Amino acid sequence: MCGIAGFWASRADLAVGERMASLIESRGPDDSGIWGDEQAGVVLAHRRLSIQDLSPAGHQPMGSPCGRYSLVYNGEIYNHLDLRKELEADDGGFDWRGHSDTETLLAALAHWGVRGALERVNGMFAFALWDKAERILFLARDRMGEKPLYYGRSGDAFLFGSELKALAAHPDWRNKIDRDALALYLRHNYVPAPWSIYQGIAKLKPAHFVVIHNGGLEFGEPQCYWDLGTVAEQGVANATGRADELVNELDGLLRDSIGRRMAADVPLGAFLSGGYDSTTVAALMQAQSEQPIQTFTIGFHEEGYNEAVHARAVAEHLGTDHTELYITYEQAMAVIPKLPAIYDEPFSDSSQIPTYLVSELASKQVTVSLSGDGGDELFYGYDRYFKAEQIWGKLTCLPLPLRKLAAVVLARAPGNGLESVMQLLPRKFQVNHLADRLPKLAEILGHQSGEALYREMVSHAKNPARLVLGATEPETILSCPDRLPSLPGLRERMMYLDMMTYLPDDILTKVDRASMAVSLEARVPLLDHRLVEFAWRVPFEYKYRDGQGKWLLRQVLYRYVPRELMDRPKMGFGVPIEQWLRGPLREWADELLDESRLRNEGFFDPEPICKMWREHVTGERRWHYYLWDILMFQAWLEANPKAH
C-alpha cells in the first residue's frame, strides 16, 4: 500500500513533488520516489509501504523498459501472477526485473492499454500513468472504490494525489471551499464522489479512469470500465441456483478471494468484531493457514457498544492469536483532535474513532489486516433495508393525501408532553423519545416513492442548503431515481444505492484513512468484483430468509463456526457520541458551536444549529448525528485556517 501524488504544470519542479509526497508519508513510510518529464512539465511522486517484493525492484515511480510509460500506483493487484502468465502467453519477450505487482500492472498497461488492463485486473488501486510518446496522463481507480484519488486544476497546474493534503503542498493550490459540497456533506456525513470539499477538485469515481492532455488543461468526462448498474441488472435477470449449489460456490469464491489477499511478504492479520462478516473472513483465513492467524478487536466499557466478548469467543473457537484492547472514553476522545488531519476533508461517521483505534492496535504487530466490510451491501444485511421495506409496504396502503395530512399533525404534536403523559401508562405501552420519533415519522409519511423514503432514512440534514449559507445542494443518484438501473424492487435499489454511495464514500473511506494513518494496509476480500457479480445473481430468497439478512453468507460461516456462537442481535461499531456531547465533550462542542464564531466564519446559519445544541444538551431532543456533522466540519476548518 502506498500514496501517490503529482502534477502537470509549466515546469517539472521535483522539489514540489517531494513536498507533496512527504505530506502523505504515513501511507508509505518505507521508501519514496520522484520522477519528472522536464519537457512536458509532469511530475510523479510516490511513498511506498512495502508489502510484496521488498527489494528495490518494486521502487516507484516505475518506468517501462521501452521508456514510453511511467507509473505511480497505490494498491494491490491480487491476480498479478495470473496476469504475468497471460502476458507471457501473448508475448514471450518479458524479462521481469522482480516479482512486484507494480511491474505486472505497468506491463499490462503497456501491452493491453488502459481499458484492456483495467478490465483484467483484480485488485484495489489508484494509479497515474504517463504516456511520454502521446503526452497523455491517465488516472484510474479500482472497481469498488477501496483506494482514493483526488484530481483537478488549481491555479495554473493540474494536481492529483491520494489525499488532499498532498495537493495542498503545491504552490498553485487554491483552497476555496465548495459550499454546495458542504451541503451534501451535511446530508450524508461525507462528501460524495465526484465532489470534494474544495472547488475545482474532484474525487475520481470507482471503476472509472480519466484522460488528461494538453498540458493538463483538458480532461474529459471520466470513463467507466466496469458498470455496477449493468452488473446488477444482468445478475438479477439471471438469478438462479439451488441453495446447496450457491453455498458451495460462495464458499469457493470466498476461499479464493481471501487466499489471494493473504499474499504478503510482511506480517498479516485480520480485524475481528465477532459479527458475521469479519468472522467469515477470519474463519476462512484460519482454514487456509498452517499457523494461528493474528486477529484484533477493541472493546468499550459502555453497555451497548461492546462486541469484544463475542470476538474473543470466536477467536477461541478458531484458535487465532487474538489481541484485544478495552478502550476508555479518554483514549477514544484523544483521537478526536487527530481526525481532521486523518480524513483531510469533513467526515463524520463516528465509527471513524474505533476504526482508527483498531487499526492502531493491529499496526503494532502486522503490516496488513483483512477487513470484513461489504457483506451488508452484497447480501441484504442492514436493518434499515428491512425497516424501509416494511414502512413503505404499510404506507402504500394509505392514500397520499391522507398521509400528508397525518404528517402535518405529527410534525406539530408536542412530543415531550405526550411522552410525559405516557409515563402514566403501563410500561409495555410507553414509547420513549417521542420528541424525536414523531417528527421523523412525519417526514416519512409524505414520500411518494420507496427511493425517496430510503433517501430520507439515510440522510442526516433533511434540507442542508438551509443550513449552509449560499449553497445549492447538487443532485445525486440518491435524489434522482431515474438514474437507477432497471431493478425489480425497492430492496435491490437500496443495495445498489449503498454500493454506489455509502460503501465507497463512507465505509471504504473510513477504513482507508484510519489504516493508512498508522501505515497499515487494509484489504477487503468481500469486495472482490467476482463476489460482487456473484451476489447480484443470487436469488433474493437466499439473501433474506427466515426473517434474517445475509442468509447465504451465514450458511457458509456455519461450516466453520457454530451457529450458537453467531446468532445474536446485530450491534454497530460505534461510540456513545450522544452521551459524550452532554458530558466530557460538552466544553469542546460549546466552543466550536459558539453563535458568534459560526456567524463570523460565515458558512452556517447559526440559529438552527444553536437551537439543536440547546435541545440536545437539555435532553429535549437527540441531535447528536446532526451535531457531529457540524462539529467535524468545525474541527476540520479550525485545522485548515486558510480554507475559505
CA angle 339, 282, 294 (to 5 degrees): 70
- Phi, psi (5° rounding) for residue 31? -165, 160
The answer to the question of residue 571 being in a domain is no
- Full residue range of the structural domain in which residue 294 is found: 238-378+502-566
Together in a domain, 216 and 252: no
pLDDT of residue 392: 86
For residues 200 and 155, what is the distance between their CA atoms, to the nearest angstrom? 10
pLDDT of residue 425: 44
Last residue of a domain, one of 196, 226, 256: 226
The answer to the question of residue 470 being in a domain is no
Together in a domain, 15 and 160: yes
pLDDT of residue 436: 59
Together in a domain, 162 and 267: no
Q: Worst-scoring range by mean pLDDT, 83-92, 211-220, 298-307, 626-635?
A: 298-307
Q: Would you say residue 423 has pLDDT above 70?
A: no
pLDDT of residue 418: 43
pLDDT of residue 308: 87
Together in a domain, 242 and 222: no
The answer to the question of residue 535 being in a domain is yes
Strand partners, 158: 8, 153
* pLDDT tens column, 356-404: 999 999 999 999 999 999 999 999 999 999 999 998 888 777 776 766 6
pLDDT of residue 79: 97
Residue 442: band (very low, low, confident or very high) from pLDDT cuts 50, 70, 90: low
Together in a domain, 190 and 285: no
Residue 346, preceding peptide bond in cis (omega within 30° of 0): no
Last residue of a domain, one of 193, 226, 259: 226
Together in a domain, 221 and 353: no
Last residue of a domain, one of 566, 598, 614: 566
C-alpha count within 13 angstroms, C-beta hemisphere, residue 92: 0
For residues 101 and 97, what is the distance between their CA atoms, to the nearest angstrom? 11
3-state secondary structure of 285: helix
pLDDT of residue 638: 96
- The residues, ordered by sequence, that sit 6+ positions from 150 with a Cβ below 8 Å of its Cβ are 159, 160, 161, 162, 163, 164, 167, 196, 201, 202, 203, 204
- Please tell me which of 86-100, 365-379, 410-424 the model is most confident about, judged by mean pLDDT: 365-379
pLDDT of residue 99: 86
C-alpha count within 13 angstroms, C-beta hemisphere, residue 163: 30
Mean pLDDT of the 25-47 span: 95
**Is 101 annotated to bind ligand?**
yes
Residue 439: band (very low, low, confident or very high) from pLDDT cuts 50, 70, 90: low
The answer to the question of residue 53 being in a domain is yes
Active site residues: 2
pLDDT of residue 441: 66
The total of structural domains in the chain comes to 3
Together in a domain, 282 and 362: yes
More confident residue, 620 or 363: 363
pLDDT of residue 306: 65
When the pLDDT of each residue in the chain is averaged and rounded to a whole number, the result is 91
The answer to the question of residue 411 being in a domain is no
Together in a domain, 154 and 89: yes
C-alpha distances (whole Å) from 525 to each of 246, 256, 495 are 18, 9, 18
More confident residue, 405 or 385: 385
| Closest-CA residue to 70 (of 96, 54, 98, 46) | 46
* pLDDT tens column, 143-185: 999 999 999 999 999 999 999 999 999 999 999 999 999 999 9
More confident residue, 439 or 420: 439
Q: Would you say residue 590 has pLDDT above 80?
A: yes
Together in a domain, 550 and 609: no
The answer to the question of residue 489 being in a domain is no
pLDDT above 70 covers a percentage of the chain that reads 90
Residue 61, preceding peptide bond in cis (omega within 30° of 0): yes
- Please tell me which of 82-91, 241-250, 257-266 the model is most confident about, judged by mean pLDDT: 241-250
C-alpha distances (whole Å) from 618 to each of 582, 588, 623 are 8, 17, 11
More confident residue, 300 or 568: 300
pLDDT of residue 397: 72
The answer to the question of residue 138 being in a domain is yes
Together in a domain, 348 and 284: yes
pLDDT of residue 396: 77
Together in a domain, 298 and 185: no
C-alpha count within 13 angstroms, C-beta hemisphere, residue 424: 4
Residue 284: band (very low, low, confident or very high) from pLDDT cuts 50, 70, 90: very high
Beta carbons of 481 and 451 less than 8 angstroms apart: yes
Together in a domain, 214 and 251: no
The answer to the question of residue 14 being in a domain is yes
Q: Would you say residue 429 has pLDDT above 60?
A: no
Mean pLDDT of the 51-73 span: 88
Mean pLDDT of the 443-467 span: 87
- The CATH number of the domain holding residue 295 is 3.40.50.620
**Is 298 annotated to bind ligand?**
yes
pLDDT of residue 391: 85
pLDDT of residue 421: 42
